[in-house]
Structure 1
Amino acid sequence: MRFVAIPTDVVAGYRDGGPDANGQVPERQVAEGGGNPCRHCLGMIPERAEMLVLAHRPFPAPQPYAEIGPIFLCAANCEAGGGEALPAMLASPEYIVRGYGADDRIVYGTGGVVATGAILTRAAELFADPRVQYLHVRSARNNCYQCRIER
């Protein structure tokens, strides 16, 4: 099981001014510190660092279950994060963890709010279901996409 960031080529397109999922140029803002997780390095964007704010669709194509939502990215180049350990950006007390099938649609009954420290355990439980191909970790308060978990 591993945590996966938004692909570097997708992030590079956003940094170069390419359109987001709504067809808009990503906004440039200054990070307030502590509350702006980068979906590429999977760390927190440092206070007063420039960041991108944009709409992202973490699915390969539009379809009814392909949610679009706001995310933050470091405006400067950063290394792609990920791996087996819980990413540093997951600093809230709880998150939504939800399973998706090979068709990129929600596997009903898999979504729920999970304490941050229990994400790995819940992910292992969800991956025991053969219908689940990957998971999303999303904010428990606003449903914002955080990262993906793969087998």
Structure 2
Amino acid sequence: MSAIAFIALDTEEVRALQNGAPDANGQTPERHISDGDGVPCRHCQRDVGKGEAYLILNYRPFPALQPYAESGPIFIHAEPCERYAATSETPDMFFKNGRRYLIKGYYANDRIAYGTGTIVAPEDMEKAAARILERSDIAYVHVRSALNNCYQLRIERAG
């Protein structure tokens, strides 16, 4: 099975958004205060704590516009946080509240590889992503919320 790495949002991109750069819709991210329930930061891969400020913004995890370049809402801490280190272990945050995830493979041209999409529990994510990445034509896997389709992170081959 392929060795994998969970890849969080790039720090440079996150810092720009935290400093007011426009999101994928060209809007300034909205600032809110967390109630401590279900506000997962896509940079540090931790939930934003109760009373902490966070940003809601539209994010497109693709380099260019094209028919498969999905975008949607995500959360990040409003203040700088440390990026989640690329690792082969599913982030702890994924195991909270019975969350489920949609994972799907993409080709190098950023198009969805039909037939790769599957809903997984956090404890099954590493193996399921590794199986998708065993296909030589798959470049990476996206992880999204199964309930709201919100982007979580990217999974690549390790190394």
Normalising by structure 1, report the TM-score.
0.97
Letter in structure 2 aligned against 1:114: V
| 1:120-131 matches, cutoff 5 A | 120-131=126-137
- How far does the alpha carbon of each residue in 1:101-138 deviate from its partner, in whole angstroms, 9 at most, with x for none? 10011001000111211001101110111111100110
* Alignment counterpart, residue 108 of structure 1, candidates 114, 120, 144: 114
Structure 2 distance, partners of 1:141, 1:59, is 21
* Alignment counterpart, residue 150 of structure 1, candidates 148, 153, 156: 156
* Alignment counterpart, residue 140 of structure 2, candidates 122, 134, 137: 134
Match of 2:13 in 1: 10
* Alignment counterpart, residue 96 of structure 1, candidates 88, 102, 117: 102
Query: Which stretches of structure 1, 4 residues or more, deviate above 6 A after TM superposition?
Result: none
Unpaired stretches in structure 1, ≥5 consecutive residues? none
Structure 2 distance, partners of 1:139, 1:32, is 20
Unpaired stretches in structure 2, ≥5 consecutive residues? none
SS in 2 for 1:2: strand
Match of 2:28 in 1: 25
Percent identity for Structure 1 against Structure 2: 48
Q: How many residues align?
A: 151
Match of 1:87 in 2: 91
Q: What RMSD in Å do the two structures reach over aligned CA positions?
A: 0.9
Normalising by structure 2, report the TM-score.
0.92
